[in-house]
Amino acid sequence: RRDMKAFGVKVSCIQPGLFKTPLTNPAKIMKEKEVIWNKLPPDIKKQYGEEYFQKDAAKKQKLSKICLNKDISPVVQCMEHALTSLHPRAHYIVGQDAKLFWNPLSRMPAVIQDFL
């Protein structure tokens, strides 16, 4: 965003939370991850361990249930505002989970972020 300012280009960062879209479908995500996992060489699978894949799958499933915003129109409205406004904002934080969790988390020290 700052790099482009030198060229007279204004950049707005749209920071959405988790929205329910085909890209966030937990079944689809896990199916794709399983395909990748199955293609990994045995030594790499051994390094990560089978429980890594299972724990990651459980985390994704849990996250998808608690944090998904169902109405994607606020993201589209932010995009429209950023593109058409005379004075667009530098940052748009979209979705309740982004406002209440992801954005505050991003401002915390790394040790707290990692713990959470």
42 token code pair: 């045995």
User: Can you give the pLDDT at residue 101?
Assistant: 84
User: Can you give the pLDDT at residue 75?
Assistant: 95
57-104 residue pLDDT tens: 788 778 777 767 889 999 999 999 999 999 999 999 999 888 888 888
> Which H, E and C letters describe 16-68, residue by residue?
ECEECCHHHCHHHHHHHHHHHHHHCCHHHHHHHCHHHHHHHHHHHHHHHHHHE
Question: Is the same domain home to 77 and 110?
Answer: yes
Question: Is the same domain home to 31 and 51?
Answer: yes
Question: Is the same domain home to 13 and 35?
Answer: no
Q: How many domains does the chain have?
A: 2
Question: Is the same domain home to 63 and 75?
Answer: no
User: Can you give the pLDDT at residue 15?
Assistant: 92
Question: Is the same domain home to 12 and 34?
Answer: no
29-70 residue pLDDT tens: 888 888 998 999 999 989 988 888 788 878 877 877 776 788
Structural domain of 63: 25-67
Question: Is the same domain home to 75 and 110?
Answer: yes
User: Can you give the pLDDT at residue 80?
Assistant: 97
User: Can you give the pLDDT at residue 50?
Assistant: 80
